[in-house]
Amino acid sequence: MLDAKIPSGPLEQKWGNYKGHCKLVNPANKRKIEVIIVGTGLAGASAAASLGELGYKVKAFCFQDSPRRAHSIAAQGGINAAKNYQNDGDSIYRLFYDTIKGGDYRAREGNVHRLAEVSANIIDQCVAQGVPFAREYGGLLSNRSFGGTQVQRTFYAAGQTGQQLLIGAYQALERQVALGNVKMYTRHEMLEIVKIDGKARGIICRNLINGELERHFGHAVLLCSGGYGNVFYLSTNAMGCNTTAIWKSHKAGAYFGNPCFTQIHPTCIPVSGDHQSKLTLMSESLRNDGRIWVPKKQGDNRKPGDIPEDERDYYLERRYPAFGNLVPRDVASRAAKERCDAGYGVGSSKQAVYLDYAVAIERYGKIEAGKQGKENVSAEEIIAMGKDVVKEKYGNLFDMYEKITGENPYEVPMRIYPAVHYTMGGLWVDYELMTTIPGLYCLGEANFSDHGANRLGASALMQGLADGYFVVPYTIGNYLADDIRTASIPTSHPAFEAAENAVKERINTMMSIKGSQTVESLHKRLGKIMWDKCGMARNAEGLKKAIAEIQQLKKEFWSDLKIPGGINEMNPELDKAGRVADFIELGELMCLDALNREESCGGHFREEHQTEEGEALRHDDKFMYVAAWEYKADHEWQLHKEVLEYEEVKPSQRSYK
């Protein structure tokens, strides 16, 4: 049985009770304990800084040239916190409830409540670090609204909130580097976990500059390596984002939780051609003011400006009047796909819908004219003033759109389409964020824990920082307190030797194939299988086909792969090959999980299971559990179930109408 170790007692007292009773490590002992952190995004950098401050000896690793590059940096819209600064009815309970409901009742109550509890501390901590959040004229913090909620609880820094939060965590991390508490290894990639007596005791990593393999010991290992959306080849993830750290750990015994739960974000810039290497998100915050529509007529080829108001279908406002354009991401994405599949899509590919700012520009212009006490203002002046307001709020996003598409979104509506953005699944962790391997923790997007089957906007930053700043510093002590007598294990230990040899052998095998297919071409094929058959809509037949195709692809990978260059040098193709090898195996597990879950929930939409109106239809009687998969052998997994018990919230059919 999987034990999530959720503390007993009333929901709102669980975390307080835990903190009051967990074991502590005294400062003198902390100095002797080494902790390895893999990945330095929001979760990793905040954990590294916090554990360094506590006095642990921390080693942090990232594959980029600096911890400041981690993909958390690209998060645009904001970070949620139950501050209720707007006096609009927010509370810890409300944030907890919205997150559970948004996740379509597939997340753990205890974890989510803790997340809501520490959310306010995160904002305080970031402001103290100098994160320049948006402010009102009175000097106090500003908020905006986001999808799936009816309160304004999102704190932001223009469209660069992730950047500012990461820089805050990065600076705290670099301060610990300067103080000697953290040793930072950049351009290093973890390729294997080292277990001794069943416990995680270190990693094998590759120096990406010279190709050398290195052994590193730690009393505990924290994986903060982010999501695996790049399994789809095209996603909003950075090019380097990968699953390798968590996948190697999975194969070494860590269970993988809900691998098929993928978030497809509704507002991304559409694919422009076969050359496309990645997709770019347009922040959900744009749905605050923008209106989404398609023509009422199928195959309407008129320019958007030539389509009169009464011939436009604002389908989200029509279908979901209560939440309108601010329905959760999974709902908005499926609605866009439905319209495009039915032949109402726009643009040259017809795989796009409009996100229109004309009304917002006019509305803001009028407000601005009112503020300035101007009367008899011309329509042009109003629009000019409105554009200025929109520019201040979303300027960087509009600029980005124009750079990519060559179109001016102040003048013509943006074209958007859903794209893979976030993975709710990840390594299974208990309440303490420990995986099924003792001493191996998993934080942030890399774990499965808080978002159920669908993540609400502005909650990823919250979770990453909650895990790193406020959760793991407590829970890791509860484990390490029993480890204070364990001296550092020399890396000459046979377990390190064996792990390093396994890595060496894998690399040698890949390099010696000398086949004809490039890493990129194989990755593209995997992505197409996943997007077509395990993407926004899934069915049993397609998933079975996908599994067979992926197994075939795996064979081709290991028999016909072509990698240029050598092993002991900087070789980005070799780095990528290792990541794609792991994506292929993960892809198979995702399809297996999607096949097993014969219901629709959140981002997981099984075509066989929908309501008459086409909404996701859950089967709580059969699937109210976390699917935690244990790796057994090639193509072979065993399913373990963590049954979800809802004590506080009564699961119901989600409605945003």
Partner 1 sequence: MEHYNMNLTLKVWRQSSKQDSGRFETYPVKNISSEMSFLEMFDVLNEELIRDGKDPIAFDHDCREGICGMCSMVIDGKPHGPWKANTVCQLHMRAYNDGDTIVIEPWRANAFPVLKDLVVDRSSFDRIIQAGGYISVNTGNAVDANALPIEKDKADASFAAAACIGCGACVAACKNSSAMLFLSAKVSHLALLPQGSPERKTRVMNMVAQMDKEGFGGCTNTGACEATCPKEISLSNIARLNQEYLLASLTSE
Please list the active-site residues.
329
- Intra-chain end-to-end CA distance of the chain, in Å: 39
Contact region with partner 1 (CB under 8 A), list: 211-219, 244-252, 383-391, 400-408 = 400-408
| Parallel/antiparallel/unpaired status of strands 34-38 and 220-223 | parallel
The answer to the question of residue 473 lying near partner 1 (CB under 8 A) is yes
- Of 581, 614, 562, whose CA–CA distance to 320 is shortest? 614
The one among 69, 201, 455, 533 contacting partner 1 by CB under 8 A: 69
The answer to the question of residue 301 lying near partner 1 (CB under 8 A) is no
Which residues from 573-602 bind partner 1, rule CB under 8 A?
573
Q: Which residues pair with 256 in a beta bridge?
A: 427, 629
Angle between helices 42-54 and 161-178 (to 10 degrees): 30
CB-CB contact of 62 with 207 (8 Å): no
The answer to the question of residue 136 lying near partner 1 (CB under 8 A) is yes
Which residues from 94-133 bind partner 1, rule CB under 8 A?
121, 123-130, 132-133
Contact region with partner 1 (CB under 8 A), list: 108-116, 155-163, 299-307, 353-361 = 155-163
The answer to the question of residue 551 lying near partner 1 (CB under 8 A) is no
The answer to the question of residue 180 lying near partner 1 (CB under 8 A) is no
Which ranges in 406-471 belong to alpha helices (H)? Answer: 460-465
Angle between helices 42-54 and 472-480 (to 10 degrees): 60
| Parallel/antiparallel/unpaired status of strands 414-423 and 79-80 | unpaired
The answer to the question of residue 469 lying near partner 1 (CB under 8 A) is yes
The answer to the question of residue 305 lying near partner 1 (CB under 8 A) is no
The answer to the question of residue 564 lying near partner 1 (CB under 8 A) is yes
Nearer to partner 1, 119 or 600 (CB): 119
Nearer to partner 1, 100 or 268 (CB): 268
CB-CB contact of 39 with 186 (8 Å): no
Can you read off the two tokens belonging to residue 456? Answer: 């609400």
The answer to the question of residue 560 lying near partner 1 (CB under 8 A) is no
SS3 content of the chain, % helix, strand, coil (to 5): 45, 15, 40
Rounded CA separation 146/457 (Å): 6
The answer to the question of residue 403 lying near partner 1 (CB under 8 A) is yes
Shortest approach of partner 1 to residue 555 CB, angstroms?
A: 21
Rounded CA separation 203/189 (Å): 10
Nearer to partner 1, 150 or 276 (CB): 276
The answer to the question of residue 177 lying near partner 1 (CB under 8 A) is yes
Which ranges in 217-308 belong to alpha helices (H)? Answer: 244-251, 286-289
The answer to the question of residue 233 lying near partner 1 (CB under 8 A) is no
The answer to the question of residue 175 lying near partner 1 (CB under 8 A) is yes
- Of 164, 15, 7, whose CA–CA distance to 470 is shortest? 15
Contact code string over 425-464 relative to partner 1, x by CB under 8 A: ----------------------------------------
Can you read off the two tokens belonging to residue 31? Answer: 């100095």
How is residue 459 annotated by DSSP?
A: -
The one among 407, 598, 607, 608 contacting partner 1 by CB under 8 A: 407
The answer to the question of residue 470 lying near partner 1 (CB under 8 A) is yes
The helix/strand/coil state of 632 is strand
The letter for the amino acid at 71 is H
For 329-383, give the DSSP string: HHHHHHHHHHHHHTT---SSSS--EEEE-HHHHHHHHHHHHHHTT--S--HHHHH
The helix/strand/coil state of 227 is coil
Element (H, E) at 426: strand 426-427
Shortest approach of partner 1 to residue 519 CB, angstroms?
A: 8
For 490-530, give the DSSP string: PTTSHHHHHHHHHHHHHHHHHHHH--SEEHHHHHHHHHHHH
HSE of 391 in the Cβ direction (CA atoms, 13 Å)? 12
The answer to the question of residue 134 lying near partner 1 (CB under 8 A) is yes
Angle between helices 572-596 and 494-513 (to 10 degrees): 100
Shortest approach of partner 1 to residue 56 CB, angstroms?
A: 13
Residues 6+ apart with CB under 8 A from 122: 79, 81, 462, 465, 466, 469, 470
Shortest approach of partner 1 to residue 249 CB, angstroms?
A: 23
Shortest approach of partner 1 to residue 564 CB, angstroms?
A: 5
Shortest approach of partner 1 to residue 511 CB, angstroms?
A: 13
Rounded CA separation 260/269 (Å): 24
The answer to the question of residue 620 lying near partner 1 (CB under 8 A) is no
Nearer to partner 1, 107 or 208 (CB): 208
Shortest approach of partner 1 to residue 414 CB, angstroms?
A: 14
Nearer to partner 1, 509 or 521 (CB): 521
The one among 276, 301, 508, 559 contacting partner 1 by CB under 8 A: 276
Nearer to partner 1, 171 or 551 (CB): 171
Site size toward partner 1, by CB under 8 A: 82
The answer to the question of residue 484 lying near partner 1 (CB under 8 A) is no
Neighbours of 613 (CB within 10 A): 7
Helices (H) and strands (E) in the chain, counts: 19, 21
Can you read off the two tokens belonging to residue 268? Answer: 């991304």
Q: Which residues pair with 518 in a beta bridge?
A: 562
The one among 198, 299, 572, 614 contacting partner 1 by CB under 8 A: 572
Sign of CA dihedral 601, 607, 608, 611: positive
The answer to the question of residue 46 lying near partner 1 (CB under 8 A) is yes
Neighbours of 140 (CB within 10 A): 9
The answer to the question of residue 272 lying near partner 1 (CB under 8 A) is yes
Nearer to partner 1, 148 or 413 (CB): 413
The one among 91, 171, 207, 539 contacting partner 1 by CB under 8 A: 171
The one among 90, 98, 109, 174 contacting partner 1 by CB under 8 A: 174
Which residues from 197-226 bind partner 1, rule CB under 8 A?
209
The answer to the question of residue 523 lying near partner 1 (CB under 8 A) is no
The answer to the question of residue 50 lying near partner 1 (CB under 8 A) is yes
Shortest approach of partner 1 to residue 170 CB, angstroms?
A: 8
The letter for the amino acid at 614 is G
Shortest approach of partner 1 to residue 280 CB, angstroms?
A: 5
Contact region with partner 1 (CB under 8 A), list: 10-18, 212-220, 274-282, 535-543 = 274-282
Shortest approach of partner 1 to residue 80 CB, angstroms?
A: 14
The answer to the question of residue 649 lying near partner 1 (CB under 8 A) is no
For 229-254, give the DSSP string: GGGGSSSSS-TT--SHHHHHHHHTT-
Contact region with partner 1 (CB under 8 A), list: 139-147, 212-220, 288-296, 313-321 = 139-147
The answer to the question of residue 487 lying near partner 1 (CB under 8 A) is no
